[in-house]
Chains A and B, each alone.
Chain A
Amino acid sequence: MSASGTDRAADARTILRRPFFWLIGVVIAAFLWPALNGDVELRESLLLAAVYITLASNLNIMLGYCGYINFGSIVFFGLGGYICVYLMSAHGWPLPAAALASGIAVSCLALVFGLGILRLRGAFFALSTIGVNEAVQAFVSNFEPWGGSAGIYLSTELFQPLGGPARALWIIYFLLVAVMGLSLYLSYAIKSSKFGLGLLAIGQNEDAAAVLGVPTPLFKAIAYSASAFLPAVAGGLYFFKSAFIQPSDAFDLTLSTEAIVIVMLGGQGTIAGPALGAYLYEELRGWLLTSETFANFQLVLAGALLLIIVLFAPGGLMRWIHARWPRLRNVLE
């Protein structure tokens, strides 16, 4: 057996030994649970949770690692949705190709935009991301080939290649779970790489990092572009499933604000944090919406709860868990 072969086998064994890897496996298995008992309602809630986890994990790359607040991260999701839906409805592309194409297209666009706005720091960067989202939304609302402000309706025929609407929904669900899993893995892969180390250095003190030799503009641009890919694919899948996309839904700023809240709630810079935060947040909102007593006050309660967590358990849930059970630091990152 060659030396590199042994290395690779050793690497594989190391990964398998890391408890966190198994944890991700368990999470994914949990998401696959509805498949076993055909529980459609559970699948719908988990689908939303998977979307939130995807958005939050990818946001974490800019927010948690680099320390750059992306208020308008939803623009990746919306644009991905539009490109995928457009390719499928107007040009008859099959779903996998369209979703992949939208991911690639949006990352490239992000790279171009990023080169411009990543020169800004702190608050200015944050504001510019809002500007990008609003500008894109305003543009799409005027762009007739994409339906303008009326949006694009998908006819049910487009579900036929996937075996009809009911079966298509399951397939899309599994694809979204896969995208979620990839997002978690991407977070992990970046964090444990030299690239990730560079990003974290930028997050700590960008000027020091630059002085120490980290190619900050390049790294930031790559991070920004990378954080756009999976949300765009998720957007394509999600809006295909909804069979309807319009600008006000696709570029809804409240969704990216929620993503920020989720990352902060769970613990920015950690890997499990966004996932934990997304899951809890979805459960909380869902429960508030459907509970008779609280339906009228769901915004108030959500806000109050968030405030309490922020005031008394800052650094998010994960930091609190790490502080109380230091042993878990190795397991849950």
Chain B
Amino acid sequence: MAGILASIVDGLLVGAVYGLAAMGITLIWGVMNVVNLTHGALIVAGMFALYIATSALGVPPYLALPPIFVAGFLFGLLLYWIAVHRMIGRPPLMSLLSTFSVNLVLIGLGTAVWGTRLFNVAVTLPGVSWNRYTFPGTHILAAGLTALLAGLLYLFLYRTRIGKAIRAVADNREAAELVGIPTTRVLSLAFALGSALAGVSGMLIGTMFPFTVLSGDAYQLKSFVVTALGGLGNPTGALLGGIALGLIEGLATPFMPVSWTLVIEFGLFVAALILFPRGIFALRRW
């Protein structure tokens, strides 16, 4: 019984970070109907940025968050203008291809430079112990920071002018243009924001687990699953979807052989898509 509770808590904690990763994807997808296949590479970039910050520059791990956010943002802007801008309005398949090819380039460069060596950022934080189980401090802090960022994102989208502009463009781009919103700038901003979120989620994951250049793939896939659960273009839904995924992973393990976890995960995923096409947590649009 204690084991099950422990796994539920663990699932919630890690799931929150899955949600953060997915927020990046769902924002971009919802606003400009672009499937960002560079998402995985951005997550890895966040991980490596953390590594470089802590080992080469001696920055304490969590202090690296704001600079990594900014770096992710700037990088996202660059990506937008190179690969995405010309694809707006074209069939969504084209943006798929362009982001996919950038992903190839980034992962290829990463492999050429770092191979697929393992990197680890050792973070010592006291954890919380209960019964025989311990909840690592890194997981708790990551979940906490995720909640904070999610809250900030919500405030940004609903309480600032730019945030409202983003939502307007997501709702109806032509109408937004007619009203005088500089759509291109807004789109680039949204994309950059999504990239920054991906980068930061990578950084947080880097505080919790060891990683290689190829680690982004698994998280990109999870982000897609979470997006489906949470509803497209719905950041709150993404967070809830991430937590749900973490819960599923945590709950499945005590009850069945671990090798069946993935079958359950993807089976539920497909079922959820079919039964709740707007996402289980799409309580209201935006």
Stretch at the interface among B5-13, B99-107, B150-158, B180-188: B99-107
With beta carbons under 8 angstroms apart, the residue of A120, A131, A302, A305 that contacts B269 is A131
Report whether A135 and B273 are in contact in the complex, using a CB–CB cutoff of 8 Å.
no
Cα A122 to Cα B35 with chains together (Å): 11
With beta carbons under 8 angstroms apart, the residue of A128, A142, A261, A302 that contacts B260 is A142
Stretch at the interface among B123-131, B219-227, B240-248: B219-227
With beta carbons under 8 angstroms apart, the residue of A67, A128, A141, A303 that contacts B102 is A303
For B93, give the chain A residue with the smallest CB separation: A264
Q: A124 an interface residue at 8 Å Cβ cutoff?
A: yes
Q: B109 an interface residue at 8 Å Cβ cutoff?
A: yes
How many B residues face the partner with a CB closer than 8 A?
46
Report whether B225 and A131 are in contact in the complex, using a CB–CB cutoff of 8 Å.
yes
With beta carbons under 8 angstroms apart, the residue of B29, B94, B270 that contacts A123 is B29
Q: How large is the interface on A (under 10, 10 to 19, 20 to 34, 35 or more residues)?
A: 35 or more
Report whether B96 and A300 are in contact in the complex, using a CB–CB cutoff of 8 Å.
no
Residues in A whose Cβ lies below 8 Å from that of B209 = none
For A141, give the chain B residue with the smallest CB separation: B259
* A298-B259 contact given A69-B93, A69-B96, A120-B274, CB 8 Å threshold: no
Cα A122 to Cα B33 with chains together (Å): 10
Task: Tell me the smallest distance from the CB of A268 to a CB of chain B, in Å.
Answer: 7
Report whether B263 and A260 are in contact in the complex, using a CB–CB cutoff of 8 Å.
no
Report whether A135 and B103 are in contact in the complex, using a CB–CB cutoff of 8 Å.
no
Residues in B whose Cβ lies below 8 Å from that of A138 = 259-260, 262-263, 265-266
Task: Tell me the smallest distance from the CB of A91 to a CB of chain B, in Å.
Answer: 25
Residues in B whose Cβ lies below 8 Å from that of A142 = 257, 259-260, 263
Cα A119 to Cα B225 with chains together (Å): 18
Q: A139 an interface residue at 8 Å Cβ cutoff?
A: yes
* A124-B277 contact given A138-B266, A141-B259, CB 8 Å threshold: yes
Cα A135 to Cα B267 with chains together (Å): 6
* A120-B232 contact given A69-B96, A126-B35, A135-B267, CB 8 Å threshold: no
With beta carbons under 8 angstroms apart, the residue of B29, B101, B232, B259 that contacts A304 is B101
Task: Tell me the smallest distance from the CB of B265 to a CB of chain A, in Å.
Answer: 8
Cα A325 to Cα B82 with chains together (Å): 29
Please, what's the 1-or-0 string for A105-127, where 1 marks a CB less than 8 Å from any CB in chain B? 00000000000110111111011
Task: Tell me the smallest distance from the CB of A181 to a CB of chain B, in Å.
Answer: 26
Report whether B266 and A131 are in contact in the complex, using a CB–CB cutoff of 8 Å.
yes
Cα A139 to Cα B263 with chains together (Å): 6
Cα A308 to Cα B35 with chains together (Å): 18
Residues in A whose Cβ lies below 8 Å from that of B94 = 264, 310, 314
For B113, give the chain A residue with the smallest CB separation: A296
Residues in B whose Cβ lies below 8 Å from that of A264 = 93-94, 96-97
A interface residues with partner B (beta carbon < 8 Å):
63, 67, 69, 116-117, 119-124, 126-128, 130-132, 134-135, 137-139, 141-142, 149, 257, 260-261, 264, 268, 296-307, 310-311, 314
Across the A-B interface, the 9 shortest Cβ-Cβ residue pairs: A303-B104, A299-B108, A300-B108, A135-B266, A138-B262, A303-B105, A306-B101, A307-B101, A131-B270
